[in-house]
Amino acid sequence: MYADLLHALPNVFAFANFAAVIIGVIAGIVVGAMPGLSATMAISVLVPFTFGLEPLVALGLMAGIYNGAMYGGAIPAVLLRIPGTPAAVATTFDGYPMAQKGKGGLALQVAVVSSSLGGIASAFALMLLAPPLSKVTLLFGPSEVFWVAVFGLASIIFLLGGNPVKGLISACFGVFVSVVGSDPIYGNDRFTFGQLEMLDGIHIVILLVGLYALPPVIDLLETPLKTGVNSSNLGTEPIWKALPRMKYWKTWIRGSLIGIWIGILPGAGGSMAAFMSYNEARRSSKTPDTWGEGEPEGVAAAEVANNADTASALIPALTLGIPGTAVAAVMLGGLLVHGLQPGPMLFRENPDVVFGFMWQFLFGAILLVLLGGSLATNSFARLLNLPRPLLGSVIIVLMLIGVYSIHGRMFDVYLMLGFGAIGWVMDKLKFPLPPVVLGLILGGFAEENLRLALRIGRGDPAVLFQNTTSLILVALTIAVIVGPSLKKRFLDGRKTAE
C-alpha cells in the first residue's frame, strides 16, 4: 500500500515539480499577508492558468499556496491586528500585543515555526490515513458510491454551522448547475436555454473563480484603505537562533492533533481548529492570566492548529470526494481540471500523481520555515502598503484572462461575472459557498452512480438498500441530518431545567 508512496517520491524532485512548490509557498505567503485575500481565492484564480501544466506542477503550486497562505495570514494579524485569513483570527489575541511591545519579529518567528510543524504533521496524517481509506472505498459499488455522495452533501450542509436551510439551498444550487448541459445517457439538452456554449455543461473553473475569487475583490474595492506598518516592531534575529528558545512541544503536539481531527471533519476548517487549540493551551497553561497580553505560546497554539488543518482536510476529499474545507473543495476542482476524479479510483489509476501531491504538501510545510522565516520581515510587511484598489484591479484582470483562456470565448467571462454577482449576494446574505462547489462536484457523480445502480437493479429502488455498507451510509446520513437539531433540543432542555 505504501510502496506507491515511496515510488512517487523521485517525481517530486524533478525541477519543475519542486520549483512549483517553492513558488507556491512564496506566493501563498504574499496572498495570506494581504488582508481580505485568502488561499481559497488565490487557488481559484490559479486553476485556470494550470491547464497547460503537468498535473504535479499544478498541484505543487496549489500545495505551496495553501501552506504559505495559512502562515501569511499571521503577518497582518501580528502587525495590524487584522487577520490576513479567517484562520488567523486567534493569532491576533497574543500576536498583536507582542508587536505593541516591540516583539513583532519574535511573534512572526513563533508563527512560522508553528505553522511549519502543523503542516508537517498534517502531511504525515494525509500519507498514513488516506491510502488505507482508499483501499476500503475500492469495495464500493454504484449504490454505495451514490450514498457516499449523498452523505458528503449532507455533511457539508448540516455540519457547516449556521443555518442548515441556507446550506441546503446552496447545495441544491450546486446540484442544479451540475445537471446543466447534455444528458450523459440520452443526450437531451438540460437547462441550456438555447445556448450552444452550455451544451458541455458549466466548467467548474468558471464557477470557482466567480464564487470564490470575485466577491473578496469586490469587498476590497468597497473599502479602499491603505494601511501602514511600523517596521520598527519587527525583529531581525535569524530564525535558527530563536528556535532553541521555543519550547512549546506540548502545545505543538496538542494543536497538531486538534488540527488534524478538525481538518477531517467536513466543513469545520482552520478557524475552529485555531480557537480550540488556543483554548486548550490556555486552559492547560500555568499562567493563563498572561494570555491575551502577549503570550508567545498563544501564537504557537493558534498557528500550529490552523496549519495542521491543511493536508488533513484532503483525506476525505481525495478518498471520498468530500472536502473538509472550502480550499479542499477548490482543490477538488483543480484535480478535475486535470482529469483526476477524486475517489478511490484516483489511488489506483494515478498513484504517482496523488502520492506525489502528498509529498509536495510535506515539502511545502518544510520550506515554509525556510522561506517564511527569512522573507516574512520588512519585505512582506511592506506589501500591506499597496492600495487596495490597485490590488483588486490586478486580480480582476488575472481572473478575466484566466477564464477567457479556458475556451477562448467571452461567454465564459460573462458567466463567471454572473456567478461572481451570485456569490457576492450569497456572501452578504450569509449563504455558505462550499456546498455550491460540492453540489457541482458530487451532483453529476451521484446522478451517474444512481442511474447505474438502478439499471443494474432493473429499475427497482430496493437495490440502493440491499447491502450492509449502503445501510450504514444511510444511517450516517440520517444521523448527520437530525443530529444537530437533537443536540440543540438537548441543550435547550438542559438550560430550561437549570
Average pLDDT over residues 30-36: 70
Quick one: pLDDT at residue 378?
Answer: 53
- Tens-digit pLDDT profile for residues 152-200: 777 666 655 557 788 888 888 888 888 888 776 677 788 878 777 777 7
| Range with lowest mean pLDDT among 16-20, 373-377, 419-423 | 373-377
Measure the CA–CA gap between 212 and 225, rounded to whole angstroms.
Answer: 22
- Residue 65 CA: distances (Å) to CA of 9, 51, 68, 353, 369: 20, 17, 5, 18, 14
- Tens-digit pLDDT profile for residues 356-395: 888 988 998 888 888 876 665 556 555 555 676 776 777 7
Measure the CA–CA gap between 160 and 267, rounded to whole angstroms.
Answer: 5
- Tens-digit pLDDT profile for residues 291-312: 877 888 888 888 888 888 888 8
Measure the CA–CA gap between 75 and 80, rounded to whole angstroms.
Answer: 8
Eight-state DSSP code of residue 310: T
Task: Report the candidate in 428, 46, 436 with the shortest Cα–Cα distance to residue 211.
Answer: 436
Count of domains forming the chain: 1
Res 449 pLDDT > 70? yes
Query: Residue with C-alpha cell 498563544?
Result: 298
Classify 190 as helix, strand or coil.
strand
Measured over the CA atoms of residue 399, residue 403, residue 408 and residue 413, the dihedral's sign is: negative
Q: Which domain holds residue 361?
A: 2-497
- Tens-digit pLDDT profile for residues 228-255: 444 444 555 555 555 656 678 888 899 8
* Dihedral class, residue 314 (left if φ above 0, else alpha if ψ from -120 to 50, else beta): alpha
Residue of 25 and 78 predicted with greater confidence: 25
Quick one: pLDDT at residue 285?
Answer: 80
CB atoms under 10 Å from CB of 366, counted, come to 18
- Read off the C-alpha cell for 67: 501552506
Residue 190, beta-bridge partner list: 181
Res 69 pLDDT > 70? yes
